[in-house]
Structure 1
Amino acid sequence: MPRLKLAFPAGTDFITQLDVRITDLNYGNHLANQALLGMLHEARVRFLAHLNHTELGNATTSGIILADAEIQFRHEAFLGDQLNITLVIDQLSRIGFDLYYRVDRVIDQMEIAVAKTSIVFFDYHTTHKRAPAPASFEQALQALRNKNEKIRKQ
C-alpha cells in the first residue's frame, strides 16, 4: 500500500505553540488523530487572526472553507508535550491556497506530523459559493513575508 508523502515547502509564514492535553489522547495514550486535526484548526485560526482575517469573513471579505486535509504522522506526542506548529502558504491562486503545517515537539525538535489543507475562499454572507481571494488577504500575507525576510536577514 503506497503511503502519503508530504513535503513541507521552504519558508515559514507563522509559528504557534500548543500543548497536548489529557483530552487529546487516544486509547494508545498518545496524541489522537482527531485531536491533531483540531490543533491544526486552532493554528490556522491563529494564523488568520495574525493576518487580520477570519474563516467566516464578513459582508465585504470572503472567508475560507476547507476542501481537503492530509496528515502524515511521523512520531508520537504525549500528555504535556509542547508542540510548535509551523505554517506556510503554498500555491496561492485567485480562489484558494494550500496550507502546510509542520508539528514539532519543542523539547527535542522531533517532527510529530506534517499536514496539508487545501483552502478555498468562500462567500458565507451572500452567495454561499467560492469567491475570489480578498486583496487584503494577499496584501497581509505579502507584508508578513516581507517582515519575516527582514528578520531572517538580521
Structure 2
Amino acid sequence: MPRLQFQPAAHYAFATEMPIEPGQINEGGHLDNVQLLALVSVARTRFFTWLGYSVLDVAGHAFFVADQAVQYRSEGQPGEVLRIEMTPADLNPKGFDLLFRVSAAQSGREVALGKIGLVCVDMVSRKPSPMPEAFSQRLCAD
C-alpha cells in the first residue's frame, strides 16, 4: 500500500499553539503519535470556538469525525511548542474536511500534515444532516 502524501494548504485560516508536555513523550524520546492526534483534536475544538461555535452545538447540530489521516514528517521534541494550523476544504452539504499542519513554533520545522473529515449530525435524530447555512457561510468567509 502506498504511503499517504499530503501537501500543505496554500493558506491556513486558523492557528493555535500548544506545548509538548512530558507525559506526551513516548519510549522513543519524542511526541507519541497518539498524543499528536490528541493535540490536533484540541486544536479542532479551538477552531470551532474561533468560528463562534461549539463542536457540539452548531445551531442544534454537532460535527463528528468521520475519518482522519496524518502524515508524520518529523519528531516532536520534548519541551517544544507546536503550532497547529487549520483550514476548511472540500465542503459538501453534510460536512467538510479540516486540513491541518503541525510545526515546531520556533523553528517552523514541519512535524505533521493531515486532514480530518467532519460530518454534520442532527443531535435529535443522531443522523447526518445538512450543515446550517450560516455555518457554511462562515467556513467560506476565511
* TM score, norm. by length of structure 1: 0.87
SS at match of 2:84: strand
Q: 1:132-147, aligned counterparts within 5 Å?
A: 132-143=130-141, 145=142
Equivalent in the alignment of 2:121: 122
User: Gapped runs of 5+ residues in structure 2?
Assistant: none
1:67 has 2:66 as partner: yes
Residues of 1 paired with 2:140 and 2:71: CA distance?
Answer: 28
- Whole-angstrom CA distance in 1 between matches of 2:9 and 2:50: 20
Partner of 2:101: 102
Structure 1 residue aligned with 2:10: 10
Is 1:38 aligned with 2:38?
yes
Match of 1:148 in 2: none
Aligned-partner Cα distance in 2 for 1:106–1:14: 14
- Aligned match of 1:152: none
1:48 CA drift (Å): 0.1
Number of equivalent positions: 142
Identical columns (%)? 33
Q: Which has the higher helix share?
A: 1
Which portions of structure 1, spanning 4 or more consecutive aligned residues, are displaced by more than 3 angstroms? none
Normalising by the residue count of structure 2, what TM-score does the alignment of the two structures yield? 0.94
Partners of 1:48 and 1:141 lie apart in 2 by: 10
Secondary structure of the residue aligned to 1:50 is: helix
Q: Distance between the aligned counterparts of 1:7 and 1:50, measured in 2?
A: 24
Whichever structure has more strand as a proportion of its residues is 2
